[in-house]
Structure 1
Amino acid sequence: MAPNYSLVLLLLQILYNGVFVFSIQEFGSNSVEPLAVLESTPNLSETLNAIADILNDSLPEFNYNKVIMKAEEFYATLPKSILNEATMLVPELVRTHGYPCETHKMKTSDGYILTMHRIPHGQDESKGTKDRPVVYLQHGLLSSSADWLIPGPEKGIGYILADAGYDVWLPNARGNTYSRNHVSLDPDGDEFWNFSWHEIALNDVTVMIDYALSKTKQENLYYIGHSQGTTVFYVLCSEKPEYNEKIRVHISLAPIAYMSHMTSPLLQIVATGGRGLQLLADVSGVGEFMPNTGFLGKVGNVLCSEDSVTQVLCTNAMFAVCGFNQKQMNATLLPIIMGHSPAGSSIMQVMHYVQEIKSGKFRQYDYGLIGNNRHYDNTSPPRYLLHKVTAPVYLFYSRNDWVSAESDVLRLYRELGNVQERILIEDGKFNHVDYLYAIDARELVYDKVITRLKAH
């Protein structure tokens, strides 16, 4: 029987959002080994069936269908204090904490309409403050401008930088919650999603950097990227070297270029079944991957709230992607995280990373033999020349990051044109999302980041 592709997308979102058990011993079941089951089923349909089997066998007493079907009902009964920040858009979220927030719109050369949020100053500073250095914070895959703000004042780096005297700009790449528009293309159609992080780098990041510099009348800015936010920086400055002059300094948090040593179990499964993702796009006619529908955020408020017995599911799923670090996981943030994430991306972005994992190379999108000849006049996609990235770069990395592996970061370090320093996070358990949400992120990362910014 052919799979129901609406159900496929829903299951993938549920998988991402944490209703998937990797550590099931707390629930008394020892009959299932999820990773072994999934790794033995590369076929998309079989994999989805395996997911369902794992869910049913791991927690037979927990009715997943009831949770999903009754999410709206559960949502209506939850205290407002739990839901507020999970359901706010970024401007409201920022203003709730006493900070100013502006919304800016711009159009790319290929017609995408993007949104940037701006925190021009801190809580107690005059609007008349001039010549504040511009900091540009580029989010990662499936993320948005909200990621830099979720921990709140004194914890989220967006607020910390505003209070430290910086003019903070929070871009949103095409296809996410805040940049899901185009002058002519319909986001419900396949053509809208015909892009990878290559196009984000050369079309989105360029226009957003230029806009922020023009608006503030400054010549250069500080660029901080996390995960895919670092990838697009390397692509931009290697393909358009003139942008090196516009970058005062670049901070790479969890750098992603090479990925051949990535150890994330979930990403390994995605890489194994990558053709299934492309099949999903081809058959369903939609190239969107994990949009923020709001619906699963409501489920997240039930499953991930601090007093919920199922909160362990959310933390386990996050750890299965990024690495285990229970000590740094602020579980009270989980409903807020799920309210804002996933924020959407294209399947093509994910497929581009799958290609990186499989090839061990940092290069443009591989369209196959015929497609490559059409796009590049060559049978293989061209590599990105990292020595052309001459802006000053600081690489922050950690040994327990299952996505940005230390050996891949060291290879990147050797090839970039102007690395000032590589900084190993002192916490040996620090993982891929700890850069955003860790309890001690300020002491372990952000204070060190600001020290490096001030040196330039």
Structure 2
Amino acid sequence: MRNLSWCTVSLTAVAVTSVLLGYLLGGSQDPTARDPDIDLTTVELIAKYGYPAESHTVVSEDGYILTLHRIPFGKKSPGETNRQPVFIQNGLGFSSVEWVIMGPEKGLGYILADAGYDVWLGNSRGNVWSKKHVTLHPSSAEFWDFSWHEMGIYDLPAITDYILRRTGQEKLSYIGYSMGATMFFVMTSQKPEYNKNINVMIALTPGMYMKYCTSPILKVFGIAGKELEWLSNLFGIYQILPHSSLFTFIARHFCSDGAVTQPICIDIWKLIFAYNHKESNTSALPLIMSHGPAGASIKSFQHFGQNINSGEFMKYDYGEEKNLIMYGSRIPPKYDVSKITVPVAIMYAQNDIITDPRDVAKTKEALPNVIAFLKVKDEEFTHVDFIWAMNVKSLVYEDILRLLRKY
């Protein structure tokens, strides 16, 4: 059981049902319909589209081996030198591939590289590209004993130091999507000396305050977090949403155009993320689902669930007894966000069921140096539309480019 996750176990049953349903109703079985990008890694995707691709390894202070993917320059600006490094950190359950999966016209990684930036793509610990440790095995409970707190105090400082050392620059620009923003707020509040290393932080739908979150998955962890923690320890299951060939199989055969089961995939998508009829690319579902989810620790979900319950941005709650040992108080302390002096630009969406606009507004009020607060003009824009929307370049990425040029 230790190599499984709740999601893998449950999806096995779903897959069997889907296979039977698909064959009975006529799922898409045409092998020529398979998108070749489904089988490519992040580096292979970047190279396929004619961009230089690199893979780098960073070891955190607590021993996690993290993979960074890099696009050092673009096809439209190959001769430029002294490029400003831009680092993009993925959200919970995602990976670096999200920023290149939609191709050069819509992938933020390519767009930034073509605009003259040195682009670095992060992979949070525990995902498919950062699932190693110098001593711990990913089948052990010890390996998965982390949330986005550890990612903020250990991973981001190590990554920042590495990028600046490698590029010879004094500062980098940071783009954090969802949990990627959460990690940044942890780093710069807990280790404020890193504020001086950042030009600007662009927070895409940031996960700081989450009182009004209505995402079913995260709400479950908010309602039954301690019970789920007990079950996790009982059955030795510590990860959730691991990268799996099962998703690829289901996505290819039952979520593609022409499959009568595609509406089921869309309904599941609506339940998890909400849905934008104007911007959602249903034809891309097989590609998206084949590369994700990428894996995460259950403790990361629990930490978000805890903040949903409290309505605060707080450290992990270990229970009163252990909290006294860890923090010297019965309840976990709040992060001191007044120490975050980096200029922060916030972008958010009206139809976001994970980071509700009311919570994002509270984030704006809490941070001392917000230099832009931008709502996406499309009222149906959702949490994942920041990555996959049909018109994401005009709705989001052009604003990112303007902010980066200014700072």
- TM-score computed with the length of structure 2 as normaliser: 0.94
> Percent same amino acid at aligned positions?
39
Look up the match of 2:47: 95
Look up the match of 1:444: 395
2:152 to 201, 217, 227: 201
Q: Partners in 1 of 2:267 and 2:380 — Cα distance?
A: 15
Change (3 A) 1:314 1:64: closer
Q: Partners in 2 of 1:407 and 1:239 — Cα distance?
A: 25
Aligned to 1:275, the other structure's residue is in SS state: helix
Q: Partners in 1 of 2:91 and 2:5 — Cα distance?
A: 26
Establish whether residue 188 from structure 1 lines up as the match of residue 188 from structure 2.
Answer: no
Structure 1 residue 196: deviation in Å?
0.5
4+ residue segments displaced more than 6 Å: 67-70
Aligned ranges for residues 301-320 of structure 1 at < 5 Å? 301-320=252-271
Check the 8 A contact 2:66/2:123 in 1, yes or no.
Answer: yes
Structure 1 residue 321: deviation in Å?
2.0
Counterpart AA for 2:187: L
Establish whether residue 256 from structure 1 lines up as the match of residue 256 from structure 2.
Answer: no
Look up the match of 1:418: 369
Counterpart AA for 2:8: L
Look up the match of 2:7: 9
Establish whether residue 164 from structure 1 lines up as the match of residue 111 from structure 2.
Answer: no
Aligned ranges for residues 345-424 of structure 1 at < 5 Å? 345-424=296-375
2:64 to 91, 112, 133: 112
Aligned ranges for residues 11-50 of structure 1 at < 5 Å? 11-13=9-11
Q: Partners in 1 of 2:357 and 2:405 — Cα distance?
A: 26
Q: Partners in 2 of 1:246 and 1:13 — Cα distance?
A: 42
Look up the match of 1:279: 230
Establish whether residue 66 from structure 1 lines up as the match of residue 9 from structure 2.
Answer: no
Counterpart AA for 1:104: H
1:176 to 122, 127, 143: 127
Q: Partners in 2 of 1:13 and 1:341 — Cα distance?
A: 14
Look up the match of 2:287: 336
Q: Which region of structure 1 is more displaced relative to structure 2, 5-14 or 251-260?
A: 5-14
Look up the match of 1:214: 165
Check the 8 A contact 2:66/2:124 in 1, yes or no.
Answer: yes
Q: Partners in 2 of 1:332 and 1:166 — Cα distance?
A: 30
Q: Partners in 1 of 2:387 and 2:74 — Cα distance?
A: 19
Q: Partners in 2 of 1:414 and 1:159 — Cα distance?
A: 33
Structure 1 residue 12: deviation in Å?
4.7
Structure 1 residue 266: deviation in Å?
3.9
Q: Partners in 2 of 1:351 and 1:293 — Cα distance?
A: 22
Structure 1 residue 264: deviation in Å?
2.4
Counterpart AA for 1:214: R
What is the total number of aligned residue pairs between the two structures?
Answer: 405
Check the 8 A contact 1:138/1:225 in 2, yes or no.
Answer: yes
Q: Partners in 1 of 2:277 and 2:314 — Cα distance?
A: 35
Look up the match of 1:37: none
2:383 to 432, 441, 456: 432
Gaps in structure 2 of 5+ consecutive residues? none
Check the 8 A contact 1:121/1:162 in 2, yes or no.
Answer: yes
Change (3 A) 1:102 1:313: same
Change (3 A) 1:297 1:280: farther
Deviation track 1:234-292 (CA, whole Å, cap 9, x = no partner) reads: 11111111111111001011111010011224432343233343233212213111110
Structure 1 residue 189: deviation in Å?
1.2
Aligned to 2:38, the other structure's residue is in SS state: helix
Gaps in structure 1 of 5+ consecutive residues? 21-61
Counterpart AA for 2:63: G
Counterpart AA for 1:131: N
Establish whether residue 123 from structure 1 lines up as the match of residue 75 from structure 2.
Answer: yes
Q: Partners in 2 of 1:337 and 1:301 — Cα distance?
A: 10
Q: Partners in 2 of 1:130 and 1:246 — Cα distance?
A: 20
Establish whether residue 79 from structure 1 lines up as the match of residue 77 from structure 2.
Answer: no
Q: Which region of structure 1 is more displaced relative to structure 2, 275-284 or 180-189?
A: 275-284
Change (3 A) 1:7 1:399: closer
Q: Partners in 2 of 1:160 and 1:345 — Cα distance?
A: 27
Check the 8 A contact 1:398/1:431 in 2, yes or no.
Answer: yes
Check the 8 A contact 1:14/1:296 in 2, yes or no.
Answer: no
Check the 8 A contact 1:267/1:321 in 2, yes or no.
Answer: no
Structure 1 residue 337: deviation in Å?
1.0
Q: Partners in 1 of 2:3 and 2:406 — Cα distance?
A: 52
